[in-house]
A and B are shown apart, each in its own frame.
Chain A
Amino acid sequence: MSRLLAIAIWLTAIITVGLFAWPKWRLPESISAHSAAIDHQFKITLIVIGAGFALTHAALGYAVWRYRAKNGERASHSSGNARVEIILAAITAVVFIALAGTGQKVWTQLQLNQAAPDTMQVEAVAQQFVWNFRYPGADGKFGRVDPRFYNDADNSIGARPGPLGIDPADPAGKDDVVTTTLVAPVNRPISLTLRSKDVIHDFYVPALRLKQDAVPGMKINIHFTATREGRYEIACAELCGQFHHQMRAYLDVKSPRDYEEWLKKNSK
């Protein structure tokens, strides 16, 4: 029994570490300016915890293999070893706190630094189970919105008030562009303001390494730069009701010229 259990413990460790090291199970493709740093931090962390995991399982398997009961023999009497204990705890503390420190790097860069004032502004508005995106148009200003004006029935691009309830009386809202696809020019920083009309949703783009709750009553600002053209999926990552798993939209990253063309075509 002891040998078998030791082998099982070792095999568990080998297989698990192997699965994580196997390139088949890697993170999704990464297409944002900050994603390489996140992926790097994940790799470092995986190596550290993989080592800790493997070492403890090696030790556990060894103890199980080596120290089984034998007739008449007594266990060694030891009720502890303060020195070993303090050394091990200190090493752990240093490693864990170092991880905690390095783990803040991308966070600080994304969350504590505001986007530059001239950054392109887009708004993402969530509702059960749809995403809408709004561009401020040529004037650079978003029109006033009011929940009393919400009109989900007409969501054509030029619709006023449309699903976001843009006040038809506000001149700033006249040229706002409202779409169901987030279109972004490549390599240009984008400041995205998240809102929700009903319950909490979460703007989640695996390829951007970006995830942020959209909370009703709050305007939450995030910023990112997409660095590769293509079409990527946007999901909802906060349980928002019956059809949470169907709340999909697309992020279209276009060349600057294609983006301008798209914007012109969809502006009034």
Chain B
Amino acid sequence: MSQAQSQTAKPSTFISRYVFSRDHKIIGLQYFFLALTAALVGSAMSLLMRLRLAWPQSRWPLLEMIFPGGFGDGLMKPEFYLAMVTMHGTIMIFMVLSVAPQSAFGNYFLPIQLGAREMVFPRLNMVSFWLTLASFVVLMSALFVAGGAPIGGWTFYPPLSAVASAGPGQAAGADLWLVSISIFCLASFLGSINFIVTTLTRRTKGMSLMRMPLTCWGWFTTACISLLAFPVLFVACLLLFLDRNYGMSFFEPAGLVVSDRLIEGGGGSPLLWQHLFWFFGHPEVYLVIIPVMGVISHVMATFARKPVFGYRAMVAAIVAIGGLGFLIWGHHMFISGMNPRISIAFSVLTLVIGVPSAVKTFNWLGTLWGARIRFATPMLFAIGFVSVFVSGGVTGLVLGQTSLDIVFHDTYFVTGHFHLIMGVAALFGVFAATYYWFPKMFGRKMNEAMGKAHFWLTFIGVYAIFVPFHLLGVAGHPRRYADTLWFEFLKPLQPLHILITIAALVTAAAQLIFLFNFFLSLSKGARAGDNPWDATTLEWTGAASNVEGDPPVVYRGPYEYSTPGATKDFSMQNEPM
């Protein structure tokens, strides 16, 4: 008891309250602002890539002043382009998409929605955040060492990433990448323990598992995935680090000659890395999207004024996706040289995982059916999410087939597919969550007119960017190419690259509306009451968490909207029957 009191007692100094904070809400916000910073950096990098792809022979003297090593005579060097490929992917996947939906909003809202006072291990929570921040700092430092950032892509396949002489950026930059990702793995692993134990042991009275909001199911399932997936990547990074620096060769066969030099050692397998990496890497996709699925269901019920259609099916689908997600990593390796027989099993399982994903889509549509939809900005992003989730999802049925993967593997078709389903869909979820929970986090509402402008430009923009990606892929365009100048079959595709770059610049500019709205609303937004959206779950009861006093008691399920006979069209979870 005394320990619990000490954990919930208000810290007295600024440093202990806002910097080395053990308050889940502050930690959630710290994660949020880390993800926001990383998103800005990662997006800026994507724009640099887009400039080279659209106008490969244009000179950018202004950019050369900012990145003297990355340009020569004003032209962007291909190794700088590839460094941006690697860093954009790494930053977006780890520092943005793995952080914002889970660590930021999960930390803030999981305890509140469960009626818990705090995460069960507040000190560990603080350590998780600071490790994540350290990981980000180490990653960024790779840009400033000799040779620059690594050029091997976020998948970091050895031997390219194992041999320092294999290219610019493959020396110190690659070591820093490995250190950064190892720290990130540790942080995520510790964080996942906190989420799992909190969910299992700190639910308030009446909050049975099947009364949890779907957001909590998302965060809980994702934590289970993190717990199993990140240690594998951690070990893979450790082995590769030993290969690079301590003469081991887990991933390098004998007889490797790189840059005219015979590499010592041997007996390792490049495919071993791919198995370890994708054993993490595929579940990673689901640990990005599952908490977002929770957010979308949650927001959709609120603004549809209806219970979530098929709550139990939604829970089952989340758990099924989380479990099946561990059995399909091999679909990244159909053409890797792996035994082609096992590819067939991976292929069938990959298409099977489409079924629970389709169930979720039906149920979102079912939630809208017969609804009375309020078109506030969070709901616009939730509806937009369903659209991009379907658009990005259906192309998975192409790539999951072994025969067709021969054609589309490592082309822009893949890049378009995962940007829609993982990047854009997840960001729509993050935007929905931000507009939705802003009143709870900051006591004010974000501006609706700016929110709507942001939604429209983003919704149209992402389609204008990523549908052409698929068309490039159908035409056979390989990904990670610094330009189209060297191949006859790529030259006719150049106008598409220009179109994509213009769409990307406009869409990126539209995000400035979001930033402006966000920071302006912090001080100037309309004051929000305790429950501005007429929602039902515990974050809207108006009670502050992390304080002394009795926890709320839960009497009902999470989404009791428009219940016949009730006086209001929503009944909060803590309202007695």
Residues of chain A at the chain B interface (Cβ within 8 Å):
1-2, 5, 8-9, 12, 15-16, 19-20, 25-28, 37-38, 41-42, 45-46, 48-50, 52-53, 56-57, 59-60, 63-64, 67-70, 73-82, 84-85, 88-89, 92-93, 96-97, 99-101, 103-108, 110-112, 127-128, 146-148, 150, 152, 197-200, 202, 204, 206, 209-213, 215-218, 220, 233, 235-246, 248
Further contacts, 20 of them, CB under 8 A, given A67-B373, A100-B350, A215-B271: A12-B463, A53-B394, A67-B369, A70-B372, A77-B307, A85-B366, A88-B362, A99-B401, A100-B352, A103-B347, A128-B258, A147-B255, A150-B257, A197-B257, A212-B335, A212-B406, A238-B410, A239-B480, A241-B151, A242-B167
Cα-based distance from A140 to B344 in the complex (angstroms): 34
Q: Known contacts being A25-B475, A26-B474, A81-B366, is A242 close to B311, with CB within 8 Å?
A: no
- Is there contact, CB below 8 Å, between A53 and B489? no
B152 — nearest CB in chain A belongs to which residue? A239
Chain A residues within 8 Å of B257, by CB: 127, 147, 150, 197-198
Chain A residues within 8 Å of B407, by CB: 27, 38, 42, 209, 211
- Is there contact, CB below 8 Å, between A200 and B310? no
- Is there contact, CB below 8 Å, between B476 and A100? no
Cα-based distance from A107 to B366 in the complex (angstroms): 38
Chain A residues within 8 Å of B358, by CB: 88-89, 92, 96
Interface-located stretch among B425-433, B537-545, B561-569? B561-569
Interface-located stretch among B61-69, B385-393, B509-517? B385-393
Chain A residues within 8 Å of B478, by CB: 204, 235-237, 245
Smallest CB separation, B484 vs chain A (Å): 8
- Is there contact, CB below 8 Å, between B391 and A53? yes
| Pairs across A and B, CB under 8 Å, 30 listed | A27-B475, A56-B361, A60-B390, A67-B304, A68-B372, A78-B309, A78-B369, A79-B308, A79-B559, A80-B307, A80-B313, A92-B358, A93-B355, A107-B347, A110-B406, A111-B340, A128-B166, A147-B256, A197-B257, A198-B159, A199-B160, A202-B335, A213-B337, A217-B256, A235-B478, A236-B478, A238-B157, A239-B160, A246-B486, A248-B486
Chain B residues within 8 Å of A152, by CB: 260
How many B residues touch A, CB cutoff 8 Å? 114
Query: Top 9 A-B pairs ranked by shortest CB distance?
Result: A217-B253, A103-B401, A76-B370, A111-B340, A206-B476, A80-B310, A63-B368, A107-B402, A245-B481
Smallest CB separation, A123 vs chain B (Å): 15
Q: Mark B390-420, 1 if CB is under 8 A from A, else 0.
A: 1100110110111110110111000000000
- Is there contact, CB below 8 Å, between B380 and A103? no
- Is there contact, CB below 8 Å, between B471 and A25? yes
Chain A residues within 8 Å of B452, by CB: 1
Cα-based distance from A209 to B460 in the complex (angstroms): 33
Cα-based distance from A138 to B460 in the complex (angstroms): 61
Chain B residues within 8 Å of A236, by CB: 478
B77 — nearest CB in chain A belongs to which residue? A242
Which interface residue of B355, B395, B406 has the most chain A CB atoms within 10 A?
Answer: B406
Task: Answer whether residue B137 sits at the interface, using C-beta atoms and an 8 A cutoff.
Answer: no
Chain A residues within 8 Å of B246, by CB: none
Cα-based distance from A155 to B487 in the complex (angstroms): 23
- Is there contact, CB below 8 Å, between A211 and B409? yes
- Is there contact, CB below 8 Å, between A85 and B159? no
Cα-based distance from A242 to B72 in the complex (angstroms): 15
Chain A residues within 8 Å of B456, by CB: 8
Q: Known contacts being A38-B406, A89-B358, is A9 close to B387, with CB within 8 Å?
A: yes
Cα-based distance from A49 to B335 in the complex (angstroms): 24
Chain B residues within 8 Å of A48, by CB: 397
Cα-based distance from A244 to B340 in the complex (angstroms): 26
Chain B residues within 8 Å of A212, by CB: 335, 337, 406
Which interface residue of B311, B313, B355 has the most chain A CB atoms within 10 A?
Answer: B355
Which interface residue of A16, A99, A242 has the most chain B CB atoms within 10 A?
Answer: A242
Cα-based distance from A176 to B402 in the complex (angstroms): 34
